[in-house]
Structure 1
Amino acid sequence: MIKPIGDRIVIEPILQEDITSGGIILPESAKEMLEEGKVLATGAGVFRDGQRVAPEVKAGDKVLYSKHVGTPVKVSGKEVLVMHESDILVIIS
């Protein structure tokens, strides 16, 4: 596994289904503009006013983020995203 630095977060995207439970095939344009993912690792946080501010998310959290953010990286054959914590919109409880 990789260890992010600063305020960077490693996310495993959760793929959205192309077919609903009722059997309807969804075109790409019908999918939401948000992506869901699972936090795999976080950096230690950023420094503000000489103090380290820890990230609000932690490994295992499910989160929503905008499409087209983050940098795709392949780790042990698995595609993950590395993004700044500020690119995460919400934590799903």
Structure 2
Amino acid sequence: MIKPLGERVLIEPIAKEETTASGIVLPDTAKEKPQEGKVVAVGSGTLKDGVRVALEVKEGDRVLFSKYAGTEIKYEGKEYLIMKESDIHAIFG
């Protein structure tokens, strides 16, 4: 598995529906990038005054992030995003 470093987070994007409410199938060019996902792994946190501070998000959290945040990677046939915790706007409760 991939282990993010420092304040980085590994996220599995959650894709939106590919069909509109009226049944129209959207082509890939019309689909928007996902803005929510599931946290798969987290880094060890940041150093503040020599002390390691853990990240707020944890594995399993469903999060909302910036549309163009992170670096897209493919690992074992799945797509993921690696981003800084600061690119995450909210945790779904």
| Band the TM-score falls in, shorter-chain normalisation | 0.7 to 0.9
Q: Which residue of structure 1 aligns with residue 79 of structure 2?
A: 79
1:16 aligns to 2:26 (yes or no): no
Cα 1:15–1:77 shift into 2, 3 Å: same
Q: TM-score, normalised by structure 1?
A: 0.85
Cα distance in 1 for partners of 2:14, 2:41 equals 15
Give ranges in structure 1 of 5+ residues lacking alignment. Answer: none
Note if contact 1:55-1:85 (Cα within 8 Å) is conserved in structure 2.
yes
**How far apart are 1:64 and its partner, in Å?**
0.3
Cα distance in 1 for partners of 2:24, 2:92 equals 26
What is the 5 A alignment of 1:9-48? Answer: 9-23=9-23, 28=30, 35-48=35-48
Aligned length: 91
Give ranges in structure 2 of 5+ residues lacking alignment. Answer: none
Give the structure with the higher percent strand: 1
Q: Which residue of structure 1 aligns with residue 65 of structure 2?
A: 65
Cα distance in 2 for partners of 1:7, 1:59 equals 14
**How far apart are 1:51 and its partner, in Å?**
1.1
Q: TM-score, normalised by structure 2?
A: 0.85
Aligned partner letter, 1:87: D
Give % identity.
55
**How far apart are 1:22 and its partner, in Å?**
4.8
Query: Which range is displaced more, 16-25 or 65-74?
Result: 16-25
Cα distance in 2 for partners of 1:62, 1:22 equals 28
